[in-house]
Structure 1
Amino acid sequence: MIKPPFTDVVIKKSSSGFYENYCFPIAIGSKCIMVALVLWALLWPKSANNILNSFKWQLLENFNAFYIILFGVFAVFLIAIAVIPSTGKLVMGLPGEKPEYSNFSWFAMMFGAGLGVGLMVFATAEPLGLWASNPEILAQKVEANTIEALRPAYIFTFAHYGFHTWGVFVIAGLAMAYCSYTRGLPLTLRSALTPLIGRYANGFFGHIIDTFGVVATILAVSVTIGFGVSQFLNGVYAITGMEWIMNLSGETPTPSDAGLIAGLVIIMSLSILSAVSGVGKGVKYLSNLNLILSMVLLLTFVIFGSFFFAMTTYGIALVDYILNFLSLSFLAYFPLSEAEFTTALPAVAQPYSNDLFAGATNAWGSYDKFVSGLSSEAATLDEATLLAVYEAGNNGRQFTWQAGWTTFYWAWMVAYAPFVGLFLARISKGRTVREFVIGCVVAPSLVCFAWMTILGATAIDLELSGIANGAISSASNTNKLFITMSYILDGGFLSAMNVVCAVLVLTFLVTTADSGILVMNTIMSGGDQETGIKHRIVWGFVLTGVLGTLLLAAGESNPMEAIQNAMIIGALPFSFILGLMMIAMGKAIYRDHLREKYHAAGLVTAETQL
């Protein structure tokens, strides 16, 4: 007998007072966590930053393989449900229901709320960083910053911004949209787990799931806005030359504390105003503007940048990415112990293993730095032995690099998943499963690839040709885009494009922040898509407070460090929830298929079944 699904999700809300129509435990629980974090960062900034950094590295190292394999499983699952005819045609909504937004607005909103800010910051910074450090370079197969290092650099660039990244958003969004629009459940995180947990979604367990989602959303959005504010200030500095917003004491200009706080206040004020207007107005119109300005920027690089070099890179990198998809999905490295390292050394080098281990396993150094850093006794080893020693440490370098780069990115995406996933679900009612997967995984990934190659390859070509002479590579990540433009444009056109970029960063930031505010309120209101204005304002101030205190806690040397560390820690609990969402989604699709198959035969009972 096939029983109907469990749909009796009841999220208890306050009937009066400030939290009227909101779930009090979720709202208070998430606020208490964030207030505690803010007070800790304010009262003991140095201690908070050091502890967060230490804990972050412990998580990245201990859960490196878990994250890599989890993302691989997500990718395989999405490919399967999109390709299978019976699952791909399922509609997230009632029979005959049409999509709420046009394809243009749908794509514009998912692009703006997804990775718009990240693309502005990292379109040049990511390829350049990986061009200087990637697994092929660590294994000494290619030399850093050469034409040979370009292909592996883009394989991992595409991995960090491609199908794996968007796949984790779609896992969350698809599970929520399916359970909400086809089963009539509230549009919130706990609903996506009802095929597994049933009635437990109504109590304490459901509150914990939603609270984790709110906390992860705040931290992920904070990281994104933190990077974006820094780039916005770089743009304002390039346009106006205002020195007070920048710290000019170092080798390269970086945003000052005063500049960061001023930029943050401007952006969050605009974000709160946009959030108050709702998805159908503020978010929609800003997203459409974002997409138009993005096309202007992209077209500028097509005309004045290294377009042929970029397109050649795009084609080769896309093929390389697809051919290496399985290894990128499932090849996970594990820590290399000193005992294992010593065993792999040539006999003549084993007495010096203590001196050799740290340098040979340092993923952020090089062979030359390893040799130059040896003590006097270890330095007497011949070159062939030293090469063998460095090779013995390769797995250790690969593990540290993967944990500190790929796993860091994917933990960031996990933290971003409740936000982007719920937002994708919010704007995708009436879409089929196949349309959702292709539209929210393949299409934005291809656009991200284009950004990374057209902008990033132009920067690399300027460095390869010697025109930039290291100026782009040595600039801060948030300033690389503006430095790159200064080499391909000049005069009034350069000034105009600096303005376009600054406005684009600003609108992306506002879109990201107001989308985050709306999503947090949707979760805390038990899935209501039209939430109270006063709570949107309050959570806008909470988000501003979290960002401001964590930026100040880290200091001007690395203002993003504390926010990144907190985000990585906050992402771990939600990674387990995402895995359960995927299982729940698979079970729901399978059980609904059976119900449809046997309904005509009268084999469906009135009793509920997960």
Structure 2
Amino acid sequence: MPIRPPIKELNIKTHDKGFYKGFNRIVTITSKVLVTLVVIWILSDIERSGAILDVMKNWSYTNLNSYYTYSVAFYILVCLTVILWPSFGRTKLGSDPNGKPEFSNFSWFSMIFGAGIGIGVLTYSAAEPIWHLANNPDTIMAKEVILSTLSTSGTRLPEGADVFAFYQEQITANTLAPIDGVIIPKTEAALDAAFRYSFLHWGINAWATYCLVGICLAFFCYSRGLPLTMRSALTPLFGKHLEGPLGNIIDISAVIATIFGISQTIGIGLSSFASGLYSITGIAWLVTDPVNPEPTTGALLLSLFVVMCLSIGSALSGVGRGIKWLSNINMVLSFLLLAFFLIFGATMFALEMLGKGIFSYVVNLPAMVITVWDPNTELGAWQTSWSIFYWAWWIAFAPFVGIFLARISKNRTIREFGLIGIVAPSLTLFVWFSFIGGTGINLELSGIAGGKIFESGLTAQLFEIIGFMLDPAMANMMSTMVVILLLTYLVTSADSALLVVNTVNSGGKVKVENSSKHIIIWGVALSSVIAALLLAGGLDAITSAMIIAAIPFSFIIILMAISLLKALILDSMRSREP
């Protein structure tokens, strides 16, 4: 019995006149109403709404840590399967066998990197290895071993004493023998874990999630001829039912996840941007405390206004102009910054950390991907505040990045898309973390920084590192370049998100005649969401909203993965039919 042909047409209703001409009114209006209601709810009682968001975040951390962990592991498994399986990997994401990619490899990679996690890497490449050097699962387990040993030996830990400091005092006094395998925080022994867990969070887990969504969308759009929107990727499972309410719900979920996912990214970027402005200008009102500078709400809101004005203008110019050129600019500036650390940073130390870190990451990856700790333990608390936070962030960010990657990847093969989209950004990030984070760690371990980098806020640590590397005038110039780079990443991410939201709302159309007004409206809506969340609790409130928004879309990605596998398997079977 012959296999039924695939669905190659999906009729998504769009309005044919007026303000919503070219747009699906149900998806567009419902999404706007939901976002508006969230903003009104937050602003109606800022303190109470912030507290409720925090409770919801803590609930998800406690109850969904296993779900998030195994979901991301599943995304990786499916993504690697479609890339490495010979017939699947050769599949071209386009209907023309002789079709050529729209963008050069450099521009393509620049847009992948810039729209993916370019903002985050500027903040976390400096901060995360430093934070993990002080606290990671290895040091937490070492603390448990020390406490157990002290208890067995009958030695009492003084109330309020630091476990590791007391342990080292006992060794020095010869009242306790050194314990094999114990990792002391902020020492060379903790380096392996510091980079291993940094690579875990920013490596394959992130990019496989993005690329899985991107491959699904590109396959069903360019190989099947379906609209470039989320519902198209589920046609092998739900067929023509996606033309109605079910498809609308899926697209609305994608829009909401995109808005809150990009809010998290922009929120972190704004904090780094404001910290950079303070580092350059020294203007007091930009930070709450000059000793431990954290950006004020006023500084964040001012930065938001500047970024969103520029983003709306760039989005109105389209992918081929504003976004493409901004992506190329920020990629050039990124490499200049990286070259600075390659030449003037702790080069040999960083190269050693890169090699050892990648080896440790690859060896431990299978176990790290599926390990879940009890959220009520210290290990579980670390996992929820770091790993689970990241998995939710990448999932919430996936509809935006996935549609954007699909939009710029026509006529690539699945294998090319996957390998370049996963391996190249991951390796690039590993280099960033090793050279920027490694330089900061080296400054601390050598005693030059004197603990000041450790004590700085997460978004200020890159500027602290630069301050220790250069004299004040040169440090100011380099910090200015970083601030400009942050601005280009912020604008690129925000304007890409606006175009993606418009694409979903228009039923998958890349270009809509009436799109300019809607780009402006969504730009204002995104700005309002971020501003309201900043007022309700700063970055913590944005994180809470993002984690909540990621929950429904995480399930949609699972369905998309199953749908893609079904489609590729059926295509392979059709090719063997007489």
TM-score, length basis structure 1: 0.86
Q: How does 1:192-341 map to 2 (within 5 A)?
A: 192-248=233-289, 251-335=291-375
2:463 to 454, 479, 482: 482
2:508 is the counterpart of 1:468: no
| Distance in 2, Cα, partners of 1:207 & 1:443 | 35
Structure 2: which 5+ residue stretches go unaligned? 143-181
2:409 is aligned with what amino acid? Answer: S
Q: What secondary structure is seen at the aligned counterpart in 2 of 1:14?
A: coil
Shift of 1:32: 1.4
Equivalent residue number for residue 121 of structure 1? 123
Shift of 1:242: 1.9
Q: How does 1:159-174 map to 2 (within 5 A)?
A: 159-174=200-215
1:104 is aligned with what amino acid? Answer: F
| CA offset digits 1:227-274 (Å, max 9, x no partner) | 1111111111222222232223x7412212221111111110000000
| Distance in 1, Cα, partners of 2:348 & 2:277 | 31
2:211 is aligned with what amino acid? Answer: V
1:504 is aligned with what amino acid? Answer: L
| Distance in 1, Cα, partners of 2:19 & 2:445 | 60
Report the RMSD for the aligned CA atoms in angstroms. Answer: 1.1
2:184 is the counterpart of 1:143: yes
1:572 to 547, 551, 559: 551
Are the aligned partners of 2:345 and 2:435 in contact in 1 as well (CA < 8 Å)? Answer: yes
2:197 is aligned with what amino acid? Answer: F
Q: How does 1:336-485 map to 2 (within 5 A)?
A: 396-485=377-466
2:522 to 535, 539, 548: 539
Shift of 1:23: 0.7
1:511 is aligned with what amino acid? Answer: T
| Distance in 1, Cα, partners of 2:388 & 2:285 | 36
2:110 to 103, 108, 115: 108
| Distance in 1, Cα, partners of 2:575 & 2:458 | 53
Shift of 1:116: 0.5
Q: What secondary structure is seen at the aligned counterpart in 1 of 2:576?
A: helix
2:63 is the counterpart of 1:22: no
Equivalent residue number for residue 509 of structure 2? 528
| Distance in 1, Cα, partners of 2:284 & 2:14 | 50
| Distance in 1, Cα, partners of 2:472 & 2:126 | 22
| Distance in 2, Cα, partners of 1:463 & 1:123 | 16
Are the aligned partners of 2:27 and 2:251 in contact in 1 as well (CA < 8 Å)? Answer: yes
2:482 is the counterpart of 1:501: yes
| Distance in 2, Cα, partners of 1:14 & 1:239 | 50
Shift of 1:333: 2.4
Q: What secondary structure is seen at the aligned counterpart in 1 of 2:285?
A: coil
Equivalent residue number for residue 90 of structure 2? 89
Are the aligned partners of 1:65 and 1:334 in contact in 2 as well (CA < 8 Å)? Answer: no
Shift of 1:397: 2.2
Equivalent residue number for residue 390 of structure 1? none
Aligned length: 535
2:110 is the counterpart of 1:131: no
Structure 1: which 5+ residue stretches go unaligned? 337-395, 602-610
1:90 is aligned with what amino acid? Answer: T
2:3 is aligned with what amino acid? Answer: I
Q: Which 4+ residue blocks in structure 1 deviate beyond 3 angstroms?
A: none
1:562 is aligned with what amino acid? Answer: A
2:256 is aligned with what amino acid? Answer: V
Q: How does 1:174-189 map to 2 (within 5 A)?
A: 174-189=215-230
1:82 is aligned with what amino acid? Answer: I
2:305 is aligned with what amino acid? Answer: V
1:202 is aligned with what amino acid? Answer: E
| Distance in 2, Cα, partners of 1:251 & 1:296 | 30
Moved more, 62-71 or 488-497: 488-497
TM-score, length basis structure 2: 0.91
Identity %: 42
| Distance in 2, Cα, partners of 1:593 & 1:40 | 50
| Distance in 1, Cα, partners of 2:135 & 2:236 | 43
Shift of 1:491: 4.0
Equivalent residue number for residue 171 of structure 2? none
| Distance in 1, Cα, partners of 2:42 & 2:212 | 33
Are the aligned partners of 2:229 and 2:403 in contact in 1 as well (CA < 8 Å)? Answer: yes
| Distance in 2, Cα, partners of 1:453 & 1:171 | 27
| Distance in 1, Cα, partners of 2:303 & 2:229 | 32
Shift of 1:57: 1.2
